[in-house]
Amino acid sequence: MIQFEKLGIFLSKPVAFVLVFIYLLQSALLVYLIMDKYDLERQIQFQQARISHLEEKLQIFKAIDDFQIGFNEEEIYQITDVIYTESKKYEYDPLFVLAIILTESSFKKGQKSHVGARGLMQVVPFVGKDLANRTGVEWEGSKTLFEPEANIKLGMLHLFEQILEFGDVKKALAAYNMGETKVRGLLRKNRDLPDMYINRVLENYKMLMETYRA
């Protein structure tokens, strides 16, 4: 017999073992239920995050589809993916990137400026080549800049480097548009930076926010 003196209970060994087994079984079941609940919550969070990502991608796709000129559906999907991925990489708002593209090229395929800037983000060849050498983008001459994925990767890196260089988004936008050397020259002379380009980017960004994230 097993004596539980404080309770005044006397149990046989088999009964005690059964009670201990039941206690352990209940404990194991409780742990299982807790873990199962935790796993379920984790799956729900994963699915919610996935839905959020898909909704954000859909916003990007809709905006591109509304403004693009000359791209087919497969290219639009490709542009959507690269903008989404690179935005996460550099912690940009994807709609801000779209605002820059709208300002630079009006989302027109094969766009080339009078100074030789090419593609969606209007990257000049000598800058593109330097960026490509440092990022692993395969450089096949200036025609590389007409490839949407390569152009966006190089353009977004270029903007990121200007932000790091100047520590200010507006100054970085000015440098992206008119060149780092010119911006530094104006700053050394304590002159104001031209704001037409900056304002156009910000206006496009506001329009995209109101249209696709309202």
Domain for residue 39, yes or no?
no
Domain for residue 106, yes or no?
yes
- Which tokens is 29 given? 């079941």
Are 178 and 195 contacting, i.e. CB atoms less than 8 angstroms apart?
Answer: no
User: Model pTM greater than 0.85?
Assistant: no
For the beta carbon of residue 202, count every other beta carbon within 10 angstroms: 17
Domain for residue 26, yes or no?
no
Average confidence score pLDDT of the chain: 87
Across 168-197, average pLDDT: 95
Domain for residue 186, yes or no?
yes
| Position 2 pLDDT exceeds 60 | no
Distance between CA atoms of 199 and 177, rounded to whole angstroms? 12
pLDDT tens, residue by residue, 100-125: 999 999 999 999 999 899 999 999 99
Across 16-25, average pLDDT: 68
CATH number of 124's domain = 1.10.530.10
- Which tokens is 196 given? 């037409």
Can you give the residue range of the structural domain that contains 147?
56-212
pLDDT tens, residue by residue, 76-96: 999 999 999 999 999 999 999
Domain for residue 28, yes or no?
no
Are 93 and 74 contacting, i.e. CB atoms less than 8 angstroms apart?
Answer: no
Domain for residue 164, yes or no?
yes
The tally of domains found in the chain comes to 1
Domain for residue 17, yes or no?
no
Domain for residue 12, yes or no?
no
